[in-house]
Amino acid sequence: MFSLRTLSGNGSVGKVSIIVFLVFFLLINLNLLLAQPEGSTEESIFRDIREDLVKAKNQQVDILSPENYNKAWDEYNSAYQKFKKGGELKEIQKRLEKVKGYLAKAHKNAEVARVPFASLLQAREKALKANAPEFAPEIYDLAKKALEEASLRIEAGDLNAAREKAKLAEGKFNQAELKAIKGSILGEARKLIKEAKDKAKADRYAPSTLKNSEELLASTERLLNAERYAAEDATSKAEQAAYQARHALYLSSKFQKLKTDYPTFEKLILEHENLISRIAKNLDYIPEFDQGSEKPVESIILAVENLKQEKKELLSELKEKDQKIKELYEKLDRLEEKVFQKEAGYKELELKSIEEEQFLDLEKLFSKEEASVIKEGENIVIRLHGINFPSGKSTILPESFGLLSKVQKAIRDFYDRRIIIEGHTDSMGDETYNQELSLSRAKAVTAYLIANMGISEDRISYTGYGESKPVASNDTKEGRSLNRRIDVVLVK
């Protein structure tokens, strides 16, 4: 058995043998170290070349010179696998040098291709932005293949053939982009129209609505064909087309269930009237359908228009009020300054002047046909001639909403006063009946003002005087008309 003791058995010769053995042992291990790099050297060997490959891809070199770029990656992967298996460092470095060579060729080809391929690359980016791989996969794949063939022609040095292939690829990318834009914008409408035709038979049960949807879809497609980037207008039209298709689906479903859900036309019409009544209820209006639904619908439209006008007037009034408040504060500041300087009673006089201005504004608010504004001592009476009720009823008709909006403004202007709503009738008919009718109408006006103003019930009250307080003779038609009224009393 071999051992160090055997080598050392002959004195000085043995010592030399030991030294030779140790040197031989160290050389073998050093060679092993060189042949199998440690894991810690992996990053230093591969990092720079890997970064060069990624940088080239970011510069679209993989697209403009695919053959050389792919060869570079193949050599890189081969070198990396050899490293992992403990291959020799020299062989690994040799392969990495090949990577650099292929990358250099790829960059050179890419520079040659970049100018003639400029519009092609732009078309590709637009197709990707439109999500063509999802909405136009077949055309997009053809475009990719044509681009790859054009790049291979560049690498082969055939620039003319490369230009022809590039032109073909650009056209395909443009087609894919347009198809993708249409797919993303028109897809939902197309799907709904198909469903309306195939499943709901809308061409039979809702042909007009379906036709509207199809015409809107066609109009949107024409718009995109003329200007593919008119996305906002096209999207709006496509949404309308989709809505009409959904409407056609609903109508078709409804018509097909008519016989089951509505055994008689009466039930169908009553359901329609119920919908109108639900809307009218929110406007404090009770519609009557003995003459059909046209008049109630017109009354609802009138009520809505009055509300819109009221909103417009309120906004304008708010602006004016803000200005008046500012002016009043300025006046008040001046008044306070004068009070502190001299006159204790000046402020009261000035406040009366303000009230006079408010009274004049109040008079201007109403036309002669609507109301007259009267002072009764400290109180102000707004005598409403223009408010109308059906004969013998206390229902406020929608045509009176505009006048009542003005009454609300008056109440807001005189915010520090209590309100009494007085009902009055002419002398025709039974006195007790007239008194009850006047009270009922005063109550209806009070309820309307509370509902629409949020006014506290502690601030407002109502009473009915029947025929007991006429303001004109009941012997004439004109006089009786003046006596049938609502008085709004602003109590100081």
Residue 127 to residues 67, 169, 185, 244, 472: CA-CA distances in angstroms?
A: 24, 12, 15, 30, 83
- Round to whole Å and give the CA distance between 141 and 128: 12
- Please report the pLDDT score of residue 335 as a whole number: 77
Query: Dihedral (C-alpha) 106, 107, 110, 111: value to the nearest 10 degrees?
Result: -150
Chain centroid to CA 309: how far? 27
Q: What are residue 422's DSSP bridge partners?
A: 463, 487
Mean pLDDT of the chain: 86
pLDDT band of 346, cuts 50, 70, 90: low
Residue 292, classed as helix, strand or coil, is: strand
Q: Are 143 and 169 in contact (CB under 8 A)?
A: yes
Region 227-234: mean pLDDT is: 89
Give 29: exposed, middle or buried? Use CB within 10 Å, 0-12, 13-18, 19+. Answer: exposed
Q: What is the pLDDT of residues 364-409, one digit of tens each?
A: 999 999 999 999 988 999 999 889 888 888 989 899 999 999 999 9
Place of tokens 């050599």: 75
Name the token pair of 375: 């002072």
- Please report the pLDDT score of residue 19 as a whole number: 55
Q: Angle CA(253)–CA(258)–CA(264) in degrees, nearest 5?
A: 165
Give 69: exposed, middle or buried? Use CB within 10 Å, 0-12, 13-18, 19+. Answer: buried
Q: Which residues of 17-28 are buried (b: 16+ CB within 10 A; e: fewer)?
A: beeeeeeeeeee
Residue 420 to residues 5, 445, 450: CA-CA distances in angstroms?
A: 131, 11, 13
Q: Angle CA(136)–CA(140)–CA(141) in degrees, nearest 5?
A: 120
Helix axis angle, 89-114 to 66-84, nearest 10°: 160
pLDDT band of 347, cuts 50, 70, 90: low
pLDDT band of 345, cuts 50, 70, 90: low
Model pTM score: 0.54
Q: What is the pLDDT of residues 44-76, one digit of tens each?
A: 889 999 999 999 999 999 999 999 999 999 999
If residue 300 lies in a helix (H) or strand (E), which one and from where to where?
helix 294-341
- Round to whole Å and give the CA distance between 441 and 421: 9
- Please report the pLDDT score of residue 350 as a whole number: 62
- Round to whole Å and give the CA distance between 114 and 110: 6
Q: What is the pLDDT of residues 183-223, one digit of tens each?
A: 889 999 999 999 999 999 999 999 999 999 999 999 999 99
- Round to whole Å and give the CA distance between 181 and 179: 5
Higher pLDDT pick, 11 / 101: 101
Q: Answer whether residue 355 shows pLDDT above 60.
A: yes
pLDDT band of 358, cuts 50, 70, 90: confident
